A and B are shown apart, each in its own frame.
Chain A
Amino acid sequence: MSLLEIEDLRVTFSTRHGVVTALDGVSLSLEAGETLAVVGESGCGKSITALSTMGLIPMPPGRIAGGAIRLAGEDLTRASDARLRAMRGAEIAMIFQEPMTSLNPVFTVGHQIAEAILLHQTVSRDQAWRDAVALLDRVGIPSPDARARDYPHQLSGGMRQRVMIAMAVSCRPKVLIADEPTTALDVTVQAQIFDLLNEIQHDFGAAVLLITHDMGAVSEMADRVAVMYAGRVIETGQADDVLDHSRHPYTQGLIDCIPSVDHGGALREIPGVVPPLHLLGAGCAFAERCDHARDQCRSAKPGLRETGGHLAACHGAAEGWL
């Protein structure tokens, strides 16, 4: 049994265009201590996957229409609100994309970390504060005693993300979800944050679900990777295997987009955009943007199938004409 198992998860949203399917049968699994990267463009469903796991999808308009999210065997989609609150922050914690806006501006950072501790552990306020200071020290914040009394606006973006990480690991969660933790930071700080995440994972033994659109981050951090497109997992396997021998044209496109000094010249991109979810047809969602698409691709959705050592959802890869 995996630590975290997402099985055939379907999440829908009621919108002006009717009910759209944001996640269409997503299955992922995460073993204790490993890092799984979920990769894709904006709108592919990776953040929705993370928020569903936390039980933080606003309902309505969102709805879990099917499937299961199992944490150590317990189905979270059937758990009570009280059980979800007890789980959040304690067993699964999350680091968000925007450190600038993810901390409450009217409380000190020490207070915000101590609050997370007090919510899940029976310790005194003083002890929680001391733990918060120790955590700030652990995530590499200089003079943590003084910084704990600072408000978020007094810290830089990188510092704030370190605070978020300290808060997330404060109760030693089994699963740490990092939703594009470095997107809003500049490049040198990005590297520091990834290093810190690696260390923290090593120290605390948490499994990490890393949500990103950055293939560079995947190669640096991940044991395994799942590539998502339009609400479905379209390729998944060991990270180096998928990166070196990707079978799905979309994954290949993402890898070609990694800027490299060898390429020279212009940055590459995948032509076109992710189709709006309410306009998805019967075929492969990527067909419109795919150079290799055939009639079959426009009429039938490909399922995940074993091709060359890992799973890919592509007719061409499965039938060998790609």
Chain B
Amino acid sequence: MSGFLTRRILYGLMLMLGVVVLNFLLIRLAPGDPAVVIAGEMGGATEEMLESIREEYGLNEPVLVQLGIYLGNVIRGDLGESFFFNQPVAGLIAQRIGPTILLVITAQLLSILLGVFLGVLAARKPGGLMSAFVSVFATIGYAVPVFWTGIMLIILFASVFPIFPVEGMASVKLRDAPWYVQWADIAHHLILPAFTLAIIYLAQYARLSRASMLEVLGSDYIRTARAKGAAERTVLFRHALRNAALPILTVAGLQFGNLISGALLVETVFNWPGMGRLAFDSILRRDYPTIMGVLFFASAMVVVANILTDLSYRLADPRLRGRT
């Protein structure tokens, strides 16, 4: 078990290294010169000023030398300084990673719990009304782009039923309230963005768990459970769901990366103060160190999520334990 974990963590670190190198090269392949953008912020510049900016930020070196310097810094824990904010990238991200993790984890839990619940209900009667509803809902949820859902929800809850805040993460007027009031306020702000982000995945999990449950419900050990006299709820949620969980876990692990990129859009639509907003701004400004830093943390989150997925497999299925 610990051997398995060590190996997975080593793979994860190697993967991160590959991701950093690829990101570095890809960003430099994209058109646009950060020196021009920085100069533009200062109100225009001559060729000599651009040259001195390039000199100052180390943009004159050959790309591979720049990569070497960057990797050396990253290994020492230094993600560099933002061209635009003139602050250490690590600090910028530290301010914003919390809200992103909160949003992504809430959306992930919401989509899995609700999706699996709907899927199980649908699988109970494959020809029934619930089953048809899940199929239709899954198709719509899958087809609708996340920014559109976000905008529709904003319209619905900003003007038609103004019960949820549609912007930001906390109310300014509650800045001095006790902590539990502030937490409740954050939860209130979280509902719409989390639901927007969750809805695509919720639909997928519903469809997937319906299919997975239908397969499991036809198996011999389910008949055995019924023959023991187990109640239908026990059969569904204990005997069947544990077995149907593996494909759901697989997809949940794979989808985590997509969820983070979805968070970028949702944060932009709802003005959620997370990493997505930071990524969006820094891409527009060719702020290389910040983009790299955001991507570094996003890929770290994906790698951690995948390790957790592998661990949860072993919890769910005893046949996988003892394998490395």
Residue numbers of A with Cβ under 8 A of B are 54, 56, 85-90, 93-94, 96, 98, 101-108, 115-116, 119-120, 151, 153, 164, 167
Residues of chain B with a CB closer than 8 A to A98's CB: 220
* B residues 120-154 touching A (CB-CB < 8 Å): none
In the bound complex, CA of A88 to CA of B226 (Å):
8
Residues on B facing A (Cβ under 8 Å) = 219-221, 223-231, 239, 242-243, 316-319
Whether A88 touches B223, Cβ cut-off 8 Å, given contacts A105-B318, A105-B319, A106-B317, is no
CB < 8 Å neighbour of A102 from B221, B229, B243, B316: B221
Chain A residues closer than 8 Å to B239, beta-carbon distance: 104
B228 touches A89 (CB 8 A): yes
Q: Are B229 and A101 in contact (CB-based, < 8 A)?
A: no
Are B229 and A86 in touch, CB under 8 angstroms? yes
Q: In the bound complex, do residue A96 and residue B229 qualify as a contact, i.e. CB atoms below 8 Å apart?
A: no
Give chain B's interface secondary structure class.
Answer: helix
Complex-state Cα separation, A151 to B320, whole angstroms: 11
Give Cα distance in the complex from A85 to B234, angstroms. 12
Given known contacts A88-B228, A105-B319, A153-B318, A56 and B223 CB-to-CB distance under 8 angstroms = yes
27 A–B contacts, CB within 8 A, in A order: A54-B227, A56-B227, A85-B229, A85-B231, A87-B229, A88-B226, A89-B227, A90-B229, A93-B227, A102-B220, A102-B221, A102-B223, A103-B221, A103-B224, A104-B221, A104-B225, A104-B239, A104-B243, A106-B242, A106-B316, A106-B317, A106-B318, A108-B318, A115-B228, A119-B228, A119-B230, A164-B224
Residue on B nearest A153 in the bound complex, by CB: B319
Q: Which residue of B lies closest to A81 (CB)?
A: B232
Contacts of A107 in B (CB 8 A): 242
Q: Check B228 against A167 for contact (C-beta < 8 Å).
A: yes
Q: Are B224 and A104 in contact (CB under 8 A)?
A: yes
Report the minimal beta-carbon distance from B232 to chain A, rounded to whole angstroms. Answer: 8
Which residues in A have their C-beta under 8 angstroms from that of B219?
A: 101
Min CB–CB distance A180 → chain B (angstroms): 13
A105 to B231, CA, bound (A): 19
The docked-state distance in angstroms from the alpha carbon of A152 to that of B322 is 15
Given A106-B317, A106-B318, A115–B230 Cβ distance below 8 Å? yes
Residue of B nearest to A88 (CB): B229
Closest 6 CB pairs of A and B: A89-B229, A88-B229, A101-B220, A89-B228, A104-B221, A151-B318
Please state if A120 and B317 are interface contacts (CB–CB under 8 Å).
Answer: no
